[in-house]
Amino acid sequence: MLCWACQFGPRSILVKIDHYENFPVASWLCPPRLRPAITAIYHFARNADDIADEGEAAPAARLADLAALRADLAAITSGAPHSGRWPQIFNPLRSVLQVFALPPALLAQLLSAFEQDVRYSASGQRYQTDAELLNYCTRSANPVGRLLLHLYGIDDAVSLAQSDQICSALQLINFWQDLGPDVHRDRWYPSVEAMQQHAVLEADLLADRPCANACALIAAGVAQARDMMAQGAALALRIPGRAGWELRLVVQGGLRILDKIEAIGHESWRQRVHLGAFDFPLLLWRAWRMN
């Protein structure tokens, strides 16, 4: 779903340090003075994501650990000492919160999205409507973009709204990109509404076989994400300097993933697409051509 907003979703909109992501964290395009802050935010979100998503822990244990993260976040926000369980996360994050006056509510929103992922996966709960899924994106993805805008001193309503469009688009792109692995882990992001509209059964997305209805479902999701990205992309042209160029690359990276999903006939439940080294020159050219 950081650098600008990068994996695509709670699974972060963040970036790569020891995990695969679509963009590098605190990259050379990020101003040096902001790299410690971006890295601190990344490690907080990455740790929470791993608690929610990695390993063999039971849902109750995952939720307990996320609650402990939330308590430590509340502690450092109020000036109290944290528990000491994750000093490598909360020591730098405490400093960043103070120096940059980051809104802690945005970090707490990320935690609520991770907690929701655990609960939905454990209970087999589904997103009933596309509107409900987009509401999830407001907590799983949009806070990252708003945190970055805060670091850059940008807080006007138009920029915040455009950032939300980009981040939600990236989150949706992540859902379609990772559709196959997700459904096999009992994470269902296609809404019940959308699946019924296209007459898609769960079995259609769990099987490694062609399905015209499933392709139509994914094509609709790809079109929605592309439209949202187009609505937010102007933000990259208004932000000056390296931050603007970084956001251009993030936008183009997301659009390139959509291109690749289209190129495989929208069968992303059968094949996961990803960005590679050969895509980077194209991303640079497309970023330069944005207007």
Cβ-contact 45, 14 below 8 angstroms: yes
The C-alpha angle 238, 240, 243, rounded to 5 degrees, equals 105
Residue count (the chain): 291
The residues, any chain, with a CB within 8 Å of residue 215's CB and separated by 6 or more, are: 265, 266, 267
pTM: 0.90
Tokens of 177: 């990109």
Nearest partner of 4 among 144, 162, 194, 209, judged by Cα? 144
Q: How confident is the prediction along the chain (291 residues), in pLDDT tens digits per residue? A: 333 444 333 333 333 333 434 333 445 567 788 889 988 998 999 999 999 988 899 999 999 999 999 999 999 999 999 999 999 999 999 999 999 999 999 999 999 999 999 999 999 999 999 999 999 999 999 999 999 999 999 999 999 999 999 999 999 999 999 999 999 988 999 999 999 999 999 999 999 999 999 999 999 999 999 999 999 999 999 988 888 888 999 999 999 999 999 999 999 999 999 998 899 999 999 999 998
CA distance 90 to 163: 26
The burial of 12, by beta-carbon neighbours within 10 Å (0-12 exposed, 13-18 middle, 19 or more buried), is given as buried
Tokens of 67: 């609650």
Q: Does residue 82 come out as left (phi exceeding 0), alpha (psi in the -120 to 50 range) or beta?
A: beta
The CA distance from 155 to 152, in Å, is: 9
pLDDT confidence of residue 22: 36
For the chain, give every domain's residue range. 32-289
Contact (CB, 8 A) for 158 and 221: no
CATH number of 32-289: 1.10.600.10
Q: Which DSSP letter does residue 70 get?
A: H
